[in-house]
Amino acid sequence: MTKIALLAALALCAAPQLMIAADAQTARAPATANARAPHVPSAAEMAAQRKQICQDGYAHAIGDLAYLEARLNLTPAQQPLFDHWKSVKIEIARRDMADCTTREIPRLADKPPTLLDSMAREQETLKHRLADLDAEIPVLGAFYNVLTQAQKDAWDHPGQQAMMMSRFRNFGPGMPQRMNHSDDGPGGPGGNNGLGGPPP
């Protein structure tokens, strides 16, 4: 075979590989060219996300009340006092959800809030919280004072009982487990939602 014939044969053999490589490069090019920048949520998307977060907070508050009611195993005499306090808590949670939903998001405002704006907002929040406590404490005190000591202990120290249940589920009776005596259950430090301790 002459050199010319040999080179022609090699070229024919290499052609498919070259075409495949070219096609692959072409396929990659549009992907690179059309690569999209990270999505920046619009004002409407952020408002919808905030609304969902606020609604989730309200749902958690309702769920905490239902959990507490089942856990305390209330007597017929205690139930009306609990229902009265529950209605106050639900109304507070409803107002909190509305305030959360309508509160302006600082970075979406026309201009960043000033120091005085932030302090005024904090003052307004504290006034609302104080009004909520003024409404809640009397009915909570009336309910709490009719609970048995066992019920008060179950409410005041939820973290300890939750850890005991975790020990039973994970290891079974009699199996040792190193227990962390933190009180971070509902109402404990870091998780106080008004359902984990006695009235102030």
Tokens of 149: 């000591």
Contacting residues for 60 by C-beta, under 8 A, at least 6 apart? 193
pLDDT tens, position by position, 98-157? 888 887 665 555 677 889 988 998 999 899 999 999 999 999 999 999 999 999 999 988
DSSP class of residue 23?
A: H
Q: Is 173 left (phi over 0), alpha (psi -120 to 50) or beta?
A: beta
Asked if the model's pLDDT at residue 193 lies above 80, the reply is no
Helix runs in the chain, H state only: 3-33, 43-72, 79-102, 115-144, 149-156, 158-171
Neighbours of 1 (CB within 10 A): 8
Higher pLDDT, 192 or 109: 109
Neighbours of 159 (CB within 10 A): 19
Tokens of 132: 């909520």
User: What single-letter amino acid sits at 136?
Assistant: E
Say if CB 28 and CB 70 are below 8 A apart.
Answer: no
Q: What is the separation of C-alpha 80 from the centre of its chain, rounded to a whole number of angstroms?
A: 31
What's the pLDDT score for residue 149? 95
Say if CB 59 and CB 109 are below 8 A apart.
Answer: no
Say if CB 177 and CB 170 are below 8 A apart.
Answer: yes
pLDDT tens, position by position, 81-104? 999 999 999 999 999 998 888 876
* Calpha distance 171→59 (Å, rounded): 32
Confidence of residue 80 (pLDDT cuts 50, 70, 90): very high
pLDDT tens, position by position, 6-40? 434 444 444 445 444 444 454 454 444 455 778 87
Task: Tell if the pTM clears 0.75, that is, is over it.
Answer: no
pLDDT tens, position by position, 161-172? 555 445 544 444
